Structure 1
Amino acid sequence: MWYLLSLAALFAHLSAAAPTINKRADPTVKLDYANIVGSSVLGVDSFKGIPYAQPPVGKLRLKPPQPITTNLGTIQATGLPRACPQMYLSSDNIPEDILGRFINTPFFQTVSNAGEDCLTINIQRPSSATPTSKLPVVFWIFGGAFELGSTQLYDGTSLVLRSMAQNRDIIYVAVNYRVGGFGFMPGSDILKDGSANLGHLDQRLGLQWVADNIAKFGGDPEKVTIWGESAGSISVYNQMTLYDGDNTYKGKPLFRAAIMDSGSVVPADPVDCPKGNAIYNKVVSEAGCANAANKLDCLRSADYTTFLNAANSVPAFLSYNSVALSYLPRPDGKALTASADVLGKSGHIAKVPFIIGDQEDEGTIFALMQSNLTTTDHVVDYLSTLYFHSATKQQVRDLVATYPDDPSAGSPFRTGPFNQLYPQYKRLAAILGDLVFTLSRRVFLNIANQKQPDVPSWSYLATYGYGIPFIGTFHASDILTTHGYTPGIPSTSIQNYYLSFINTMDPNKGMPFGFPNWPRWGESKKLLNFSALGNSLLSDDFRATSAKYIADHVDILHI
């Protein structure tokens, strides 16, 4: 849903801008391995689809990304970048399954410009930028449950234009990385091969590419802020903890600050856990590799159609399984040395200032498919079966009990008995939203402020979608505001605070007149509330009983 809304908003944004296009000579940047030719519109240069790694095809499928070692000549970085192979819908519902089977076909992937040769970067900058400008850089990591998404959907023009209007110029960078079974395949064979969490390794190589090349576009490699939403936000947290918190490259930090929109700590079992092996074995079987002497080599040698269909044969997040994801980052003992919660508690996290926040109703779109859940027992069974295999059923029941069986207490919040799609809808929406996003954020903030009290952090809650039937301020609605696709007070506010943070590592410095001071979370436990008509402060103490249970039992809430 959010994927389509974002796409529609993007096209509307670009269409609205079309009549005012003023072209200039095509900007060109010479790199060591290629000449990059971009385009210029509205005073913003765009370079889209710049390769930053060798194509991960053939023997490099399901392998860590490799730097480019040959000269690529002239690259026309002006088209629609290819997305990495996408994973869409799969379910037991026949109409949806038919749709899912169609969307997962190579034909549809080709139509949507997806394929394995997809490791590229987009750059957007003020046209006035030169190699001596040393502008702050924001490095965008898209979301999509680690199963779909690409840089195709995100355009930084609005943010760059706002930075230019305020004389706070920035450079916007967006990275493509492998998703689904191509980027986050689990299993014992994957672990032994050293090929786990490939999507995160893609992101890291993209950051290293920025360190090596962004100065030629006018950026300062020592002023990089990493920023992501949903799975991209979780990726930001994981980039902060990758290699036990070592974010250096050639002796310098790859980034100096971080922004996390909807996502941080996702406690997870190892790559070779029973669920991980079950996913891997299903893919192996569907690819016809079950009897191969080397199953992983067999997957690498399978034709694209066979491997795509096999990788997408397991449950997707737009299904009954929801955020009990088939593919996600899991501890591998090397890049992610332990579960996200363990790394945070042990202080293995890069010491950089950060902003983190959520939408008020994070869980609503993830609870749309479970209409058979009509009782407390059903909810407990659902969570026990699909999510928390280290927890006893009584422990899951105790968690569920912290959420009243009362629609007035559920999500979309503050809507009384209304918006109840099925008997446990609002309750499940509250639980899933808190576990994956809202209350896990508070748990992380508490840990971060205990371990690194000298590192500043700020937090927010967005409520500008209050009143939207059934979904409220739903997960990923912030894409529309942060990227300026829906102009208004929320978009203006968020972009202004973020520009301050990208430029100064403090969201308050350089803010235009009329915006409230955003206090550090560790000093006040206050959230900045982005509402439809303005901004205010909000105490971060709601659903305290549930938050305490999650914090006290995080070790059994691994997925």
Structure 2
Amino acid sequence: MFRSFLLPLLAASASIAAPIEERATAPAVTIQNGTVVGSISSGVDSFKGIPFAQPPTGTLRLKPPHTITATYGTITATGTPTACPQFASQVDTTNIPSDVLGTLLDSPIGQAIEVEGEDCLTMNVQRPSGTTSSSKLPVILWIFGGGFEAGSTANNDGSNFVSESVKLGQPVIYVSVNYRLGGFGFLAGSDLANEHSTNLGLRDQRLGLQWAQENIAAFGGDPTKVTIWGESAGAISVFDQTVINGGDNTYKGKPMFRGAIMDSGSIVAADTVTAPQAQNVYDTVVANAGCSGSSDKLACLRALPYEQYLTAANSVPGIFSYRSLDLSYLPRPDPGDNFYSVSPEVSVTDGAFTKVPIIIGDQKDEGTLFSLVQSNITTNAQLITYLASYFPGNPNAVADVTALVSNYPDQPLLGQPAGSPFDTGSLNNIYPEFKRLAAILGDVTFTLTRRTYLSLVSSQVHSWSYLSSYFQGLAVLGTFHASDVIFAYGDLGETSVETQSIQTYYISFVNSLDPNTISTASPLIQWPQWTNASGSPQLLNFQATQNTLITDNFRQGAYNELSTSTSRFRV
């Protein structure tokens, strides 16, 4: 009886409350190019799809981004922003267990893009309702991941993060930037190098950072308190933003960011934009675009209809193909252009990077996601051959890979932490070399490279590092790459230990450049800085029910191989 009475009452209350929110005055902010009208929901103002560059279409395709100089009057920034063109490659699902596929489709990896197109260079801004131009709130600027092939600002709504910052008494403004991907943003080759039109996706991000410096104060943000944050390719991009222009992160004489958070990504050592593997990708795209016979191949590519160029750009291997993390598209050094002139490990070794506090960490099983489809690799010799093919510029790749692979037992046994998903012994080995390949790809691309990076920079900048293991025991995938995004954004609710921990530590860092200033009460603990001084650097271990500290010394033999000369493993 009580239930039958209460439900209609609640329904009626909801129907009354919704229009009240809708009738609230829409937030509007005047910036350099015009007035932006947003929306309000649950105490958060959202402005989505604000243009920050001219549409990179027609003759501006495959060109560095151009600043908007004209005014655009009043624009309504309330819809779903157009995503930059996606490189959607189909995964061979025949040998992947159905429960693993289900997990992937429900994760950030499986998120669909609703609208995509070339006119995509826009920013999102989300802030606590009531924020004014005099609020001067710290800013967190998100760079999404997706292997430099996929992703969009539309994938990650910052409302929950902003709301949590308000609850913690440390409000922040959330900003995110769209950037060009795949063959639109990271095509290389000599033709593009000759006109300095390389690493366009990084240039888009840079212009987005400059836009924030020019305009975020109007939204109530403090341009002197910007922290850049990214995951996967976004984390690699955050790192790259610290080495661009020789580590100079200033705009009009002022720093564009004062802190950096890198979730699963840092140094990716790479051969140049004119290396054979990069040129081969360009030549393949040109051929499939029908431009091989043109006297001006770039002009031909720029003149193609959008769909035709998209098809050609996506005709090379994708991240979930057999080539996996041997990416067709990624940032590559362009020696003829100061913007990104050397392989990033050189910049770090030379001290040519922005000296700002950092948080950086990994998921325990970074490589499982990228090792699902190589089921024909069944022997040690085949594994070495496959991995050595990732490094065509290294004449000693076979010997170097052989030495590296020897640190990972061929038959992982219970108690041996050598195969990923780690600490599961002989379980989850869906094909004979799966666990070894997953361990090696994860370590080379993410986990042990993170330690190499920290060993080079931690004496110069305040550094905190972590390892996530909250999905320990999840079949085949373990704590897989990108699984942290659902917690960082509160997608599974605000009460989980992981969400409380990540959001609190990060909000603290954005406000004070120290993750420990808001709280260290359970489930949080004091997070020590990462340092080599004692020989036992400490990692925060995000677990399902608690946080602990562990020593960052696992798989030391493999780390020694990788850290002695990162340049040997340039892709």
- Report the TM-score, using the length of structure 2 for normalisation: 0.90
Q: Shift of residue 94 of structure 1?
A: 9.9
SS of the residue aligned with 1:438?
helix
The answer as to 2:371 corresponding to 1:367 is yes
Between the aligned partners of 2:231 and 2:37, the Cα distance in structure 1 is 29
Q: Shift of residue 398 of structure 1?
A: 1.2
The answer as to 2:301 corresponding to 1:299 is yes
Between the aligned partners of 1:317 and 1:88, the Cα distance in structure 2 is 9
Identity of aligned residues (%): 51
> Is the contact between residue 498 and residue 543 of structure 2 (CA under 8 Å) also seen in structure 1?
yes
Matching residue within 523, 527, 530 for 1:521: 530
With over 3 angstroms needed to count, the CA separation of the structure-2 counterparts of 1:183 and 1:275, relative to structure 1, is same
- For 2:406, the equivalent position in structure 1 comes to 401
- For 1:69, the equivalent position in structure 2 comes to 69
Matching residue within 403, 422, 427 for 2:436: 427
Of 161-170 and 397-406, more deviation after overlay is shown by 397-406
Deviations 1:387-443 (A, max 9, x none): 454133122111111111123320000111100100000000000000000000000
Matches within 5 A, 1:521-540: 521-522=530-531, 525-540=537-552
Provide structure 2 residue ranges, at least 5 long, that are not aligned to the other structure. Answer: 1-13, 97-111
- For 1:227, the equivalent position in structure 2 comes to 229
Between the aligned partners of 1:398 and 1:505, the Cα distance in structure 2 is 39
SS of the residue aligned with 1:335?
helix
The answer as to 2:486 corresponding to 1:480 is yes
Q: Shift of residue 305 of structure 1?
A: 1.3
The answer as to 2:356 corresponding to 1:352 is yes
SS of the residue aligned with 1:407?
coil
CA RMSD of aligned residues (A): 1.9
With over 3 angstroms needed to count, the CA separation of the structure-2 counterparts of 1:520 and 1:185, relative to structure 1, is same
The answer as to 2:142 corresponding to 1:140 is yes
- For 1:459, the equivalent position in structure 2 comes to 465
Matches within 5 A, 1:242-391: 242-333=244-335, 334-390=338-394, 391=396
SS of the residue aligned with 1:59?
helix
With over 3 angstroms needed to count, the CA separation of the structure-2 counterparts of 1:329 and 1:27, relative to structure 1, is same
The answer as to 2:549 corresponding to 1:545 is no
Between the aligned partners of 2:560 and 2:52, the Cα distance in structure 1 is 43
Q: Shift of residue 513 of structure 1?
A: 2.8
> Is the contact between residue 388 and residue 556 of structure 1 (CA under 8 Å) also seen in structure 2?
no
- For 1:99, the equivalent position in structure 2 comes to none
Q: Shift of residue 18 of structure 1?
A: 11
- For 2:448, the equivalent position in structure 1 comes to 439
SS of the residue aligned with 1:547?
helix
- For 1:557, the equivalent position in structure 2 comes to 569
- For 1:491, the equivalent position in structure 2 comes to 499
Between the aligned partners of 1:187 and 1:111, the Cα distance in structure 2 is 29
> Is the contact between residue 407 and residue 558 of structure 2 (CA under 8 Å) also seen in structure 1?
yes
Structure 2 letter corresponding to 1:414: D
Deviations 1:57-96 (A, max 9, x none): 0111000001001111211100000000000115788999
SS of the residue aligned with 1:439?
helix
- For 1:40, the equivalent position in structure 2 comes to 40
Structure 1 letter corresponding to 2:568: I
Matching residue within 384, 392, 397 for 1:392: 397
Q: Shift of residue 552 of structure 1?
A: 1.1
Structure 1 letter corresponding to 2:69: T
Structure 2 letter corresponding to 1:330: R
Between the aligned partners of 2:294 and 2:465, the Cα distance in structure 1 is 50
SS of the residue aligned with 1:260?
strand
Q: Shift of residue 530 of structure 1?
A: 0.3
SS of the residue aligned with 2:370?
helix
Which 4+ runs in 1 deviate beyond 4 A?
17-21, 90-96
Between the aligned partners of 1:281 and 1:166, the Cα distance in structure 2 is 53
Of 528-537 and 504-513, more deviation after overlay is shown by 504-513
Between the aligned partners of 2:57 and 2:95, the Cα distance in structure 1 is 33
Of 220-229 and 20-29, more deviation after overlay is shown by 20-29
> Is the contact between residue 85 and residue 116 of structure 1 (CA under 8 Å) also seen in structure 2?
yes
Structure 2 letter corresponding to 1:433: G
> Is the contact between residue 317 and residue 327 of structure 2 (CA under 8 Å) also seen in structure 1?
yes
- For 1:129, the equivalent position in structure 2 comes to 131
SS of the residue aligned with 1:386?
coil
Q: Shift of residue 548 of structure 1?
A: 0.5
Structure 2 letter corresponding to 1:456: H
Structure 2 letter corresponding to 1:63: K
> Is the contact between residue 364 and residue 479 of structure 2 (CA under 8 Å) also seen in structure 1?
yes
Structure 2 letter corresponding to 1:516: I
SS of the residue aligned with 2:324?
coil
Q: How many aligned residue pairs are there? A: 528
- For 1:471, the equivalent position in structure 2 comes to 477
Q: Shift of residue 35 of structure 1?
A: 1.1
- For 2:422, the equivalent position in structure 1 comes to 413
Structure 1 letter corresponding to 2:559: A
> Is the contact between residue 91 and residue 315 of structure 1 (CA under 8 Å) also seen in structure 2?
no
